[in-house]
Amino acid sequence: MSTDTPDASTDDTPSRAELAARVEELEEELADVAAETGEDEKKMSIIATKGTLDMAYPPLILASTAAAFGYEVTVFHTFWGLEILHEERSKDLKLSSVGNPNMPVPNVIGAIPGMDRMTTKMMEKKIDDNETASIEELIETSLDMGVEFQACQMTIDLMDYDEENFYDGVTTGVGAATAI
């Protein structure tokens, strides 16, 4: 007779019930550790580098939505992305009609003087017609929900921004190391 098959009476393999109990115990321990270290927090970091009307919406919509779902959200604004945080300039962001392959205007026509103004007006009308939140509303809502908007200090210095012109609640003096 072969001895390859272990005898049931000497088998040390845990039962399904024992395994299930051990898994439950480990999950509870993991939850306790996560709660103690804060590792169960959901976090999101977004980088905003463009300051056009169509590029201002994605980081703001993602930030406000993530905050609504309980995420701790940071949006780091650098280069032209600082325009979004500028209280006056953010109300007058433009839409570029050149270089956007999905724009309903061919690049050669988009290059005609005044086309950016026309495509911006078209987009603003769509925003109004669809009752989409404005940039200002999204920023204020996001700030109210605890989103941290960071302004890149190097870009502030490079582009000669006045920090007083940013929305109240924007964190200035942030370098790349801090953002990371």
pLDDT tens-place values along the chain, 180 residues long? 555 555 555 678 888 998 888 988 888 888 877 777 666 689 999 999 999 988 999 999 999 999 999 999 999 999 999 999 999 999 999 887 776 767 777 766 767 777 778 888 888 898 889 898 999 999 999 999 999 999 999 999 999 999 999 999 999 999 988 888
H or E element at residue 149: strand 148-152
User: Could you give all domains of the chain from N- to C-terminal order, each with its CATH number?
Assistant: 42-178 (3.40.1260.10)
- Of 42, 94, 73, give the one whose Cα is nearest residue 138: 73
The answer, as to whether pTM is greater than 0.85, is no
Distance CA 88, CA 2 (A): 86
3-state secondary structure of 53: helix
Distance CA 96, CA 103 (A): 9
- Of 50, 47, 51, give the one whose Cα is nearest residue 74: 47
